[in-house]
Structure 1
Amino acid sequence: MAPLHAIHEDPDLLVLEKPAGLLCVPGRGADKQDCLSARAQQRWPDALVVHRLDMATSGLVLMARNLATQRALGDAFAARQVEKRYEAVVDGLMPLSDEWALIDAPLIADWPRRPLQKIDAAGKPSQTRWRALRQLTQQQATHVLLEPLTGRSHQLRVHLASIGHAILGDALYASEAVQACAPRLMLHATVLAFTHPATLQGMRFVSEAPFSWRLTVGPAASRISP
C-alpha cells in the first residue's frame, strides 16, 4: 500500500488526497481490499469514513477520527453545509461565462447495468452547477469547474454526459472515442470547506487538479496528459 498524502490532520479529523484508481472503501473480493480507508487506518487506526469519491476520481476526502465527529460531518454533508468543488476536462467546447449554469436532473440506479446511474423523473433530485474555465480548442474539449449541490452516485459524470459533454477518460458514461482522449477520468475534487465540529472554525482545503497544469494547447496536441 502506497503512503497517503495528508493535507490536514488533527485529533478529530483528517483531510486526505485520494489518487485516481483507488477505492474509498473495500469492495467485494480479495483484490478490492486495498482502499483509502484501509490505508488510512494503517496510519490512523481511528480513521472513519465520512463520504466517498468514485474509484476513478482523485482529490480531497474528509475522514473523522471519532464517532461524534463522524456523525457531525455526516450531518453537515446531508444538510449541504459542506462546500465541494471539482475540476474536470470534458468533451466539446462549452460556452465561457462568469455565471454558473445549472444541471437539474433527477438520478436513479440503472438496475440492469448496476452500478451505473441514469436520469429518470422518478429518481432523487440532483443538481450540479458548472462554469467553463477555458476552452481547449485543439482537443475540442473544455476545462470546467463543477459544484454538486447534491451528492448522488456518479452525479457529475452522468450530468455532464447528459448535456453532451462527457468527462474525458470516463469508462462508464463516455463513448469509446472520448474514453480514449485521456488515460484516466479527468475529474478531481479540488475544494472542501466546512465548519470544524469541535473547534467551530471555518476550514477550507484546496488541491490542484493533477492534470490542470498539463493541459496541452499546442497545435500538435491530440490527447490530455494525466
Structure 2
Amino acid sequence: MERIELIVKENKRIDAIIASELADVSRSYVQKIIEDGCVYVNDKEVTSKKLKLKVDDVIVINMPEPEKLEVLAEDIPIDIVYEDDDLMIINKPVGMVVHPAPGNYTGTLVNALMFHSEKLSSINGVIRPGIVHRIDKDTSGLLMIAKTDQAHQSLADQLKEHSITRKYVAIVHGCISSETGTVKAPIGRSPKDRLKMAVNERNGKEATTHFRVIKRFKNYTYIECQLETGRTHQIRVHMAYIGHPLLGDPVYGVKKPKIKHEGQLLHAKTLGFVHPSTGEEVLFDSEVPEIFETMFKKIKGVEGGPHAI
C-alpha cells in the first residue's frame, strides 16, 4: 500500500483536490477510496467526498494496491461475418459489451474473441485486445477486429483520416421532413452531467453526421446515418441535438415515450475500408435485426392509419 501526502493549496472539495493532484486517478475512483476509509485529513479519517478543505490542510492517502486484471477466454458464440489472417468482422448483438471494464470483466466480446482466436492485436493492451473501435452495449452491428498490430495500426489510421465507411440505421422520434441532412457540431463531455456527452462548443471535438430518410411515419422516422467522425455516442447526441432523439435511448431520448423500448434502436449496418494487407477496398453489410420490424409494427399500431407516409 502506497502512502501519499498532499498539502492543500486552495479551498476546494477534497475529491476535486486529490483528482487534480493525481493525474492518473479519476474523480470517481477518488470518491471510492474515500468511501473505503483510505483518506485522512489532519490525522482524521474522511467520511464525506464533499468535505471542503482549507489551505495548509494535510491530506494522507493510503492508496490501495492496483487490481491485477485478468481477462479470461469464454466460450461465447459470436457472429463472424468475415475472417482472415489480419482481421475479423463481427456482427455484435444487442446487449453485449465490447470490452471488459471495472465491474464488468466477463461476458464481453473480448472474452469471446480470446476463446475464438489466439491471435489478436496488442496495441490496446490486455483489456482491449484486437479492439480498433467500439459500439455501445445496446447498439448492434459490425465491428472491425484486428488480429495483428500492423492491421490494427492501418485500420486506426483510416479511422483517424475519416476514410472508413460506417453506415448505421436508426429509428428516431419525430417526422423528418427533409430527405437528407448533415449535423456538424462538436461533441464533448456535458458540462451539466459528466456521465453524458453533449454538443459542446467550447471543449468538444469536431463531429459530423450525415443522414438520409429511409421511411417516414407520422411521429417517427427510419433513417440511415453515415459517420464522418467517430465520437462517443455521436449519432445519439447529434440526433437528439436536432430534436430527433433515438427511439428507446435511455440517456438522450424522450423521458415519457408512447412506445417504450429498452435501449436505442441503432444498428451498425455497413462497414467499408482498405484492407491492411491487400490494399483492396472491402465492404461488408449486415441484416437489420428483427426488432426494427417489430418496432415498425408497434408504431403502426400506436399511430393507426398507413404503415408509412
Tell me what 1:78 maps to. 160
Q: What is the letter of the counterpart of residue 288 of structure 2?
A: A
Aligned length: 217
- Distance in 1 between residues matched to 2:93 and 2:198, nearest whole Å: 26
- Distance in 2 between residues matched to 1:129 and 1:147, nearest whole Å: 5
| Bigger relative contact order (CA 8 A; separation at least 6) | 1
- Distance in 2 between residues matched to 1:163 and 1:182, nearest whole Å: 21
Q: When the two structures are superposed, what TM-score results if normalisation uses the length of structure 1?
A: 0.89
Determine if the alignment matches structure 1 residue 7 to structure 2 residue 81.
Answer: yes
Q: Deviations over 1:63-117 (max 9, x none)?
A: 01111101111101111111000000001111252xx311011111126633310
2:96 to 19, 22, 47: 22
- Distance in 2 between residues matched to 1:26 and 1:219, nearest whole Å: 39
In the alignment, is the contact (CA less than 8 A) between 1:133 and 1:143 conserved in 2? yes
Residue 217 (structure 1) shift: 6.9
- Listed as ranges, the gaps of 5+ residues in structure 2 are 1-74, 121-129, 304-309
Tell me what 1:190 maps to. 269
Aligned Cα root-mean-square deviation (Å): 1.9
Residue 23 (structure 1) shift: 1.2
Tell me what 1:90 maps to. 172
1:50 to 122, 132, 137: 132
Determine if the alignment matches structure 1 residue 113 to structure 2 residue 193.
Answer: yes
With 202-211 and 160-169 compared, the bigger mean Cα shift is at 202-211
With 176-185 and 18-27 compared, the bigger mean Cα shift is at 176-185
Tell me what 1:37 maps to. 110
Tell me what 1:127 maps to. 208
Structure 1 residues 178, 147: CA separation in 2 closer, same or farther (over 3 Å shift)?
Answer: farther
- Listed as ranges, the gaps of 5+ residues in structure 1 are none
Tell me what 1:65 maps to. 147
In the alignment, is the contact (CA less than 8 A) between 2:82 and 2:89 conserved in 1? yes
In the alignment, is the contact (CA less than 8 A) between 2:259 and 2:298 conserved in 1? no
Tell me what 2:234 maps to. 155
Residue 180 (structure 1) shift: 5.1
- Distance in 2 between residues matched to 1:27 and 1:179, nearest whole Å: 34
Q: When the two structures are superposed, what TM-score results if normalisation uses the length of structure 2?
A: 0.66
- Distance in 2 between residues matched to 1:74 and 1:161, nearest whole Å: 28
Residue 2 (structure 1) shift: 3.3
Q: Deviations over 1:119-167 (max 9, x none)?
A: 1112111110011111122xx2110000111110011001000111110
Residue 59 (structure 1) shift: 0.3
